[in-house]
Homo-oligomer: A and B are copies of this chain.
Amino acid sequence: MTLNKREAQRGATKAAILQAASEEFDARGYAGTAISDIANRLDLTKGSVYFHFPSKALLAIEIVDRYFSAWVPMLEEVESRGLSGLTAIRWVSEQAAASYRDNATIRASVRLMREASLIDAEMPTPFVDWMENTHRWLIQARDAGELRDGLDLEDAAWHIVAVFHGIQEVASRLGECAQLASKNATIWSLLLKGIESGNETKA
């Protein structure tokens, strides 16, 4: 086997391990998943899983890293599409809901961050990056006249992130992830009137 072929195979094995581990962590959580389960799914030895990931904690960290890097192209697309303000927030929430529904690595990451106390490694704080991005888009929305007067933008950003987290979490725990897109649409119709300009009369 040439060096290139061997490297390609190593890369493929690593990707297969990450996929199998995502599915296991998503379904069974950190404590419920053993390296041997992942090895068995792929007909690998435990040793060959450990060759790529020397510990279960390192495997979890790699999956969570992929969660954070998954948003980079999405944020770039917001720019390249010229989206801003409420349109940007809404588009991103739709993309994020679809990723959560379709991608086991995203679901596994959310679960692993929730279970951070079980994992013997430094885990990133969730939510904070989303709140910062949402705050930035809300500033654009205010400057474009999209928001009602007197809205506290930092507080609104906090709540928008919390609301979407709640929907994702409840849908996930009740086995309703397939409906996430429509849940997402509903919450926008409920929330928008509290945010948008033109609804001040009954404030």
Please pick, from B32, B164, B173, B174, the residue contacting A166 in the complex, using a CB distance under 8 A: B164
The reply to whether the CB of A117 lies closer than 8 angstroms to some CB of chain B is yes
CA separation between A32 and B115, bound complex, in Å?
A: 11
Evaluate contact between A170 and B165: CB separation under 8 angstroms.
yes
Interface size on A, residues (CB 8 A): 43
The reply to whether the CB of A193 lies closer than 8 angstroms to some CB of chain B is yes
Nearest-neighbour CB distance to chain B for A145, whole angstroms, equals 15
Residues of B within 8 A of A75 (CB): none
Residues of B within 8 A of A115 (CB): 29, 115
Number of copies of this protein chain within its complex = 2
Nearest-neighbour CB distance to chain B for A89, whole angstroms, equals 13
The digit string for A186-199, where 1 denotes a CB below 8 A from any CB of B, is 11011111111011
Residue of B whose beta carbon sits closest to that of A192: B194
Nearest-neighbour CB distance to chain B for A149, whole angstroms, equals 13
Residue of B whose beta carbon sits closest to that of A187: B159
CA separation between A128 and B175, bound complex, in Å?
A: 12
The reply to whether the CB of A127 lies closer than 8 angstroms to some CB of chain B is yes
The digit string for A153-181, where 1 denotes a CB below 8 A from any CB of B, is 00110110111111101110110000000
Please pick, from B32, B152, B169, B186, the residue contacting A155 in the complex, using a CB distance under 8 A: B186
Question: Known contacts A163-B166, A169-B169: does B114 contact A114 (CB below 8 Å)?
Answer: yes
The digit string for A17-53, where 1 denotes a CB below 8 A from any CB of B, is 0000000000011011000000000000000000000
The 9 A-B pairs of least Cβ separation, nearest first, read A166-B166, A190-B194, A193-B193, A162-B170, A162-B166, A165-B166, A193-B194, A162-B167, A163-B163
